[in-house]
Amino acid sequence: MSPLASYRRLLHLAGPTYVLVAFVGRLPLAMSQLGTLLLVATSTGSYGLGGLSAGALAVANAVGAPVAGTLADRVGQRPVVLVQSLLGAAGLALLVAVVHVGAADALVVLTAAATGLALPQVGPLARVRWRPLTRTTGAHQRRLVDAAFSYEGAADEASFAIGPALIGLSVAAFSPAGALLLAALLLAVFGSAFALDPSARLAHAAHRPVSTGRLLGAAFVVLVVAQVSIGMLFGATQTGSTVLATDAGSPGLAGFIHAALGVGSALAGLATAFVPERIGHERRALVASWALLVLALPLLVVESPLGAAATVLVLGVAVAPYMIAVFSLAERVVPPARVGAAMTLLASATGVGYAVGSSLAGRLADASGATAAFGVTIGATVLAVLLMSSQQGRLRAAVVEPVLDGPGVESAVEVGPTT
């Protein structure tokens, strides 16, 4: 089955409505961090408080996401995501109200953190649904699941380009408060629709007969660290780009540079479906890690926002293939009943890496400028290379591929090396 045929088959299996809902449902999370920063900073005149509030939201989401993912594995995505969507939307609206009335700084930060705890990770949970959705496709299932993960990687990258752009447009058209209320509305409508889609019940039914099993095996820990490294790349690159744009007198260009990274990554994500099936995901991650290192090196010599945008556009070509390989491996190295927890934990690891990368890059940039910040980006790619170069055997041996023993019944078979 060709990649284009795979994408058409996935659209037919899931339905265009589900694809739309699952994509738009992930935009509020992509909008919330920048929206919180702008709302708090413009209302209080303090970028420090704005950054602290946005950071509290991001960290709380990183902490809460694996808990929600584990709960979704146990009781199903439908009740968990529905409650998260409604609470998250209410939290975003409450944050606007708290800031509007001039509440104490501590209350603003706590409200942002509580909102972050509630926001659902739609992208990771959408990945969980594709294997049950493709369960009737027989020999084509593995290829279809690979194509689905390629699409999901591209969709995530596109959401983190479109989300901040929506915030910018909404701020220009209305206000920072209006931008965050738009995110709340999208979450209430599309997050709830994602929760109520029949695929949520299908995913839970597919995993119900399978024992829970162990989540934090050695191979999965490797993948968690791999996502920390890519999160560091995001945080450091965004910080370096912001410094470069600010020094050039156009701080607004930082958003354009970050969007360029997302555009390059989204296009590469879709193209990943064209990689031959015989090339294992652990090998894809290795090649992508080296590509990250090579393509990030020019950041050390860029001197303008335009140069940075061009560089990160090309760098994005390696980002999505790396992340898609990591998420695909995770789906195969954990027990089927723990896939939701695994996907959300990887998303949290990315958030933690982002916080580490942006913090370290910010400190270095204060002392030595944008080039020092981009040095953290290079360090993150070196970590990815070392990790994937040293763990190929472990990852290959840990891969497990679900197969159908009978109608609607899944079991797991190891496809790593045999003796």
Q: Domain check: are 287 and 251 in the same one?
A: yes
Alpha helices in 272-391 (DSSP H): 281-296, 305-333, 339-368, 370-390
Q: What is the pLDDT of residue 328?
A: 83
Token pair, residue 51, equals 């950054």
Token pair, residue 318, equals 């390696």
pLDDT tens for 229-275 read 998 898 888 778 878 877 887 765 766 777 788 788 888 877 877 77
The residue from 158, 181, 208 where one domain ends is 208
Q: Domain check: are 352 and 224 in the same one?
A: yes
Q: Using an 8 Å Cβ cutoff, are 410 and 345 in contact? A: no
Q: Domain check: are 142 and 163 in the same one?
A: yes
140 vs 148: CA distance, rounded Å: 12
Q: Domain check: are 286 and 179 in the same one?
A: no
Nearest Cα residue to 400 out of 272, 277, 220, 276 = 220
**Which residues, at least 6 apart from 382, have a Cβ–Cβ distance to it below 8 Å?**
293
pLDDT tens for 263-273 read 888 888 778 77
Domain that holds residue 35: 1-208
Q: Domain check: are 8 and 113 in the same one?
A: yes
- Choose from 27-31, 162-166, 239-243, 403-407 the range with maximum mean pLDDT: 27-31
pLDDT category of residue 281 using cuts at 50, 70 and 90: confident
Q: Domain check: are 106 and 151 in the same one?
A: yes
> Radius of gyration (Cα) for the chain, nearest Å?
21
Q: Using an 8 Å Cβ cutoff, are 4 and 10 in contact? A: no
Q: What is the pLDDT of residue 238?
A: 78
Q: 22-36, 167-181, 310-324, 391-405: lowest mean pLDDT where?
A: 391-405
Q: Domain check: are 94 and 234 in the same one?
A: no
**Which residues, at least 6 apart from 321, have a Cβ–Cβ distance to it below 8 Å?**
153, 268, 269, 272, 275, 284, 287, 288, 291
pLDDT tens for 188-222 read 999 999 999 988 887 665 555 444 556 677 888 99
Let me know if 265 is exposed, middle or buried by CB neighbors in 10 A (0-12, 13-18, 19+): buried
Count the domains in the chain: 2
Name the percent of the chain lying above pLDDT 90. 29
pLDDT category of residue 117 using cuts at 50, 70 and 90: very high
pLDDT category of residue 30 using cuts at 50, 70 and 90: confident
Residue 402, SS3? Answer: strand
pLDDT at residue 415 is higher than 50: no
Q: Using an 8 Å Cβ cutoff, are 352 and 231 in contact? A: yes
pLDDT category of residue 410 using cuts at 50, 70 and 90: very low
Q: Domain check: are 318 and 359 in the same one?
A: yes
DSSP count for the chain of H helices, then E strands: 18, 2
- Cβ atoms within 10 Å of 250's Cβ, excluding its own: 12
Q: What is the pLDDT of residue 255?
A: 66
Q: Domain check: are 188 and 217 in the same one?
A: no
**CATH, residue 265:** 1.20.1250.20
The larger pLDDT score, comparing residue 223 to residue 140, is at 223
Nearest Cα residue to 231 out of 146, 160, 328, 145 = 160
Q: Domain check: are 229 and 118 in the same one?
A: no
Q: What is the pLDDT of residue 296?
A: 95
The residue from 208, 228, 243 where one domain ends is 208
pLDDT at residue 413 is higher than 60: no
pLDDT at residue 403 is higher than 60: no
Q: Domain check: are 280 and 295 in the same one?
A: yes
pLDDT tens for 349-376 read 887 887 788 778 877 887 888 899 899 9
Q: Domain check: are 191 and 287 in the same one?
A: no
As beta bridge partners, residue 409 has 406
Residue with tokens 């690891």: 349
Q: Angle CA(131)–CA(387)–CA(337) in degrees, nearest 5?
A: 25
> Dihedral (C-alpha) 272, 276, 280, 284: value to the nearest 10 degrees?
-40
Q: 91-105, 218-232, 321-335, 400-414: lowest mean pLDDT where?
A: 400-414
Q: What is the mean pLDDT of residues 324-331?
A: 85
pLDDT tens for 85-116 read 999 999 999 999 999 998 898 999 999 999 99
pLDDT at residue 225 is higher than 70: yes
The residue from 208, 239, 261 where one domain ends is 208
